[in-house]
């Protein structure tokens, strides 16, 4: 029997004269007030839980919107934005030796440039982290580095790993000798040798001359490397190309993660996704606490999402974080869709 039913029973009993006293006793009044208090508290708690669930649903629906905004930005600008480090809603870059690099690898989402919400449903900013090498002029314009998806201006960096096949206009990052088409060799002319021999008596005529040797077949690989590659014409994005590594999976989070990509694990610590070029996070209902001090976040997995390293984690519960990310392959697909890379 719930609290309201109990209260109604007390009052009905009074109405039908089931008590011989003429008024309510203090005990009865106190009991009624207690039951009313329990009822209203229970109602308020239930409503609070419903509001919390509704907010989590709202936030879950916003994350795909942010992802699509990132894809659109990449298609329009041919590069991804750097983090906002001063809170003005715009990415923050600096010029280093003529190359545009991110000021920092982490900050908040540049919401004005993306046309996305400034705050999450709990009123906190979105955390935004990118490939660490987007800060480095040596890597951000190097098509053999994943960070090249953040390259905005400046000359293309020629990596020692870069190879180029001009006949098919394709760049490779692991050498190209074995994949470049081999051009056919030259063809030699055939020699003429019609000998004349007028022998006397029974002598036979002279033998004709031997024909010339044909040209040697060619084995002319057109793979260009290092200074042979002319990249002077490439000073605008996209610097990322089809051959930009990793091609497929990347051993992210390990010492072999030479490209400094981000990666995501599940609640058990198993890898969910790798080769992530960026991760966007809303720290959930207790986001204000996390923003104030990462180590005060409610769980180990939540602290993993704010500590600034390459590893991120799924979370669960009332204070769960919500994440969005983009893989290298997704970034390439966006550029392929608009014909920016082939």
Among the residue ranges 51-55, 61-65, 112-116, the one predicted with the least confidence is 51-55
Evaluate whether 66 touches 114 at the Cβ level (below 8 Å).
yes
Averaged pLDDT, 13-22: 51
Please give the pLDDT value at position 205. 45
Using alpha carbons, select from 2, 225, 293, 244 the residue that is nearest to residue 133: 244
Q: Is the pLDDT of residue 42 over 90?
A: no
- Phi first, then psi, for residue 311 (nearest 5°) are -100, 135
Evaluate whether 171 touches 163 at the Cβ level (below 8 Å).
yes
Evaluate whether 274 touches 253 at the Cβ level (below 8 Å).
yes
Q: Which residues contact 292 (CB under 8 A, 6 or more apart)?
A: none
Q: Is the pLDDT of residue 36 over 70?
A: yes
Averaged pLDDT, 157-162: 82
Instruction: Give residue-wise pLDDT tens across range 74-107.
Output: 999 999 999 999 999 999 999 999 999 999 999 9
Beta strands in the chain (DSSP E): 93-96, 99-102, 106-108, 127-130, 163-165, 170-172, 182-183, 220-221, 224-225, 262-265, 271-282, 311-313, 322-327
Query: CB under 8 Å, gap of 24 or more: what pairs does 330-336 form?
Result: 330/71, 331/74, 331/80, 331/149, 331/240, 331/277, 332/240, 332/242, 332/244, 334/71, 334/74, 334/75, 335/74, 335/75, 335/78, 335/238, 335/240, 336/242
Task: Quote the pTM value.
Answer: 0.75
Please give the pLDDT value at position 174. 77
pLDDT above 70 coverage of the chain, percent: 76
Q: Is the pLDDT of residue 41 over 90?
A: no
Band (10; pLDDT cuts 50, 70, 90): low
- Residue written as token pair 């999450």: 120
- Residue written as token pair 């036979």: 204
Evaluate whether 151 touches 239 at the Cβ level (below 8 Å).
yes
Instruction: Give residue-wise pLDDT tens across range 270-329.
Output: 999 888 999 999 999 999 999 999 999 999 999 999 999 999 999 999 999 999 999 999
Using alpha carbons, select from 306, 176, 310, 326 the residue that is nearest to residue 256: 310
More confident residue, 45 or 197: 45
Distance, C-alpha 14 to centroid of its chain: 69
Instruction: Give residue-wise pLDDT tens across range 161-205.
Output: 788 888 878 888 877 877 786 655 444 444 444 444 444 444 444
Please give the pLDDT value at position 216. 39
Please give the pLDDT value at position 259. 79
Q: What is the average pLDDT value for the chain, to the nearest integer?
A: 82
262-265 and 311-313 strand pairing: parallel
Among the residue ranges 217-231, 233-247, 253-267, the one predicted with the least confidence is 217-231
Q: Which residues contact 157 (CB under 8 A, 6 or more apart)?
A: 138, 139, 141, 142, 143
Residue 157 CA to residue 235 CA, distance in Å, equals 10
Residue 328 CA to residue 340 CA, distance in Å, equals 15
- Phi first, then psi, for residue 312 (nearest 5°) are -125, 160
Q: Is the pLDDT of residue 124 over 80?
A: yes
DSSP 109-125: --HHHHT--SB-TTS-B
CA angle 254, 255, 259 (to 5 degrees): 85
């Amino acid at each position: 029997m719930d609290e309201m039913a109990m209260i109604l029973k007390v009052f009905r009993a009074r109405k039908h004269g089931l008590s011989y006293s003429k008024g309510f006793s203090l005990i009865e009044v106190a009991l009624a007030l207690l039951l009313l208090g329990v009822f209203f508290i229970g109602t308020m708690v239930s409503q609070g839980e419903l509001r919390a669930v509704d907010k989590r649903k709202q936030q879950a629906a916003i994350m795909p919107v942010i992802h699509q905004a990132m894809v659109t930005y990449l298609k329009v600008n041919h590069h991804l934005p750097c983090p906002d480090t001063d809170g003005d809603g715009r990415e923050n870059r600096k010029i280093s030796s003529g190359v545009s690099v991110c000021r920092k690898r982490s900050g908040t989402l540049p919401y004005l440039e993306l046309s996305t919400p400034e705050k999450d449903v709990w009123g906190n900013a979105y955390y935004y982290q990118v490939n660490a090498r987007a800060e480095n002029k040596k890597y951000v314009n190097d098509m053999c580095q994943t960070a090249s998806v953040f390259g905005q201006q400046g000359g293309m960096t020629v990596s020692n790993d870069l190879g180029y096949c001009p006949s098919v206009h394709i760049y490779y990052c692991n050498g190209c000798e074995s994949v470049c088409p081999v051009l056919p060799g030259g063809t030699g002319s055939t020699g003429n040798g019609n000998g004349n021999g007028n022998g006397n008596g029974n002598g036979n005529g002279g033998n004709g001359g031997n024909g010339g040797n044909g040209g040697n077949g060619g084995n002319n690989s057109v793979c260009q490397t290092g200074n042979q590659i002319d990249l002077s014409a490439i000073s605008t994005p996209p610097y990322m190309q089809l051959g930009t590594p990793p091609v497929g999976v990347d051993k992210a989070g390990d010492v072999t993660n030479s490209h400094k990509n981000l990666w995501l694990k599940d609640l058990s610590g198993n890898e969910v996704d790798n080769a992530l070029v960026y991760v966007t996070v809303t720290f959930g209902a207790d986001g204000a606490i996390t923003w104030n001090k990462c180590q005060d976040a409610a769980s180990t997995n939540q602290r993993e999402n704010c500590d600034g390293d390459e590893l991120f984690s799924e979370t669960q519960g009332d204070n769960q974080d919500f994440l969005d990310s983009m893989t290298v392959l997704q970034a390439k697909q966006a550029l392929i869709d608009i014909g920016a890379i082939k």
